[in-house]
Amino acid sequence: MSTKIKFTVLILLGVLFSSHSSFGRAKIPVGEIEVLKKVHDFPNTEEFELSSGRYIDLATKHTEFNIAYILPLWITKDPELVGYDEVEDTYYEIPEAELNAILAEQKLDKEKINQVPFYNKYGGKAIALVIIAIIIYGMLPSKKRPVQAKEM
């Protein structure tokens, strides 16, 4: 990349992310978040009906350290199975004995469904490593191509 292009890109980034522009004031959220993922849709029967008239489903709930809600770096709290109201985006703790009875009734394997999705477990780490590798590669000095004089 030529020096002029690098300089132009640096100036453009400086203007975009300066404290006076709206981009500069944008904050990227970093920290722990609770993640709910629906794993099984219970039948809409009286057994799974809430007092509000909606029905619960089964979801996993885990806590992860995350950047911008899209880049999970590591799991801080292992997953657990909970009742999940998708409309309200809320969860309900289910006592262990009751949960085991429901799983047996629905013929579900607890070990199989109580897992963190692959992307949440490994995907964020892989993307972060690729970004770090690109940054390091960009910092490495490049070889200058030898210039040969040509006669006219």
The model's pLDDT over 70-82, given as tens digits with 9 standing for 90+, comes to: 889 899 999 999 9
pLDDT digits (tens, 9 = 90+) for 58-70: 999 999 999 888 8
Tokens at residue 11, please? 């100036």
pLDDT the model gives residue 13: 61
Would you place residue 55 in the very low, low, confident or very high pLDDT band (cuts 50, 70, 90)? very high
**Residue 41, pLDDT above cutoff 70:** yes
Tokens at residue 145, please? 């191509």
Task: Of 50, 110, 45, 46, give the one whose Cα is nearest residue 84.
Answer: 50
